[in-house]
Amino acid sequence: MDAEFLSDGAVWLSPPAVSDIDAITTLCQEPSIGAWTTMPVPYHRADAEKFIYDIVGPGWATRSPTWALRPGDGGPVVGMIGLSPLYPRRDDNQAEIGFWLSPTARGRGLMTRAAQLVTAAALDPAALAFERVEWRAFTGNHASAAVARRSGFHFEGLIRGGGMQRGTRRDIWVAGRLRADPSTPGPNWPPGV
């Protein structure tokens, strides 16, 4: 499996490039993206440049890949999805999945498809070879939780004050998927997810 480029024929995932900087900058002006992520708010072009040069490039060399979600082969960026180490780093065989999607691309199942592709590559012993993928989101992020649930993650609970967002400590939901777990919707999610 070539984990660098993933597609199921409905979504295309590829590493974001320098040519995507302006599009990323524009997309990250959306208030709903900043509300649920730890990215800088306001988001400037320099933030997108730092993301491409300091996170995306080096990440592929350290099993922390990032993909741009595109609705067609070579199409424009409409979202981002990636894997990163869990902090504090507990072991090298698990990663955390994170993602965001432009409002214009929501409601079509694109992020669920992307999360399924990334999770499959993450857990595949012939690809990224993680044993566990963890999902975390600030409590109340039902859209992100729905993607994780539909992608086979099992809800594991609430971590009080478990996340920091621009200097404010917030509660987070956590879910996990193991290599042996099916890709079908996971159980025990909070009502409304």
For domain 6-178, the CATH architecture is 3-Layer(aba) Sandwich (3.40)
Dist CA 6 CA 67 (whole Å): 9
Distances (CA, A) of 59 to 77, 104, 142: 19, 28, 28
Coil/strand/helix, residue 8: coil
Distance (Å, whole) CA 97 – CA 161: 19
Structure-token pair, residue 84? 């990163």
Taking the alpha carbons of 81, 82, 86, 88 in that order, is the dihedral positive or negative? negative
What whole-number distance in Å separates Cα of residue 143 and Cα of residue 44? Answer: 25
| Per-residue model confidence as pLDDT tens for the chain (193 residues) | 456 999 999 999 999 999 999 999 999 999 999 999 999 999 999 999 999 999 998 998 888 999 999 998 989 999 999 999 876 567 789 999 999 999 999 999 999 999 999 999 999 999 999 999 999 999 999 999 999 999 999 999 999 999 999 999 999 999 999 999 998 988 888 777 6
Distance between CA atoms of 177 and 123, rounded to whole angstroms? Answer: 9
| Cα distance between residue 165 and residue 67, in whole Å | 23
Q: What is the pTM of this model?
A: 0.93
179 three-state secondary structure: coil
Helix, strand, or coil (residue 138): strand
The ranges assigned to domains in the chain are 6-178
Nearest to 25 by CA among 12, 35, 13, 34: 34
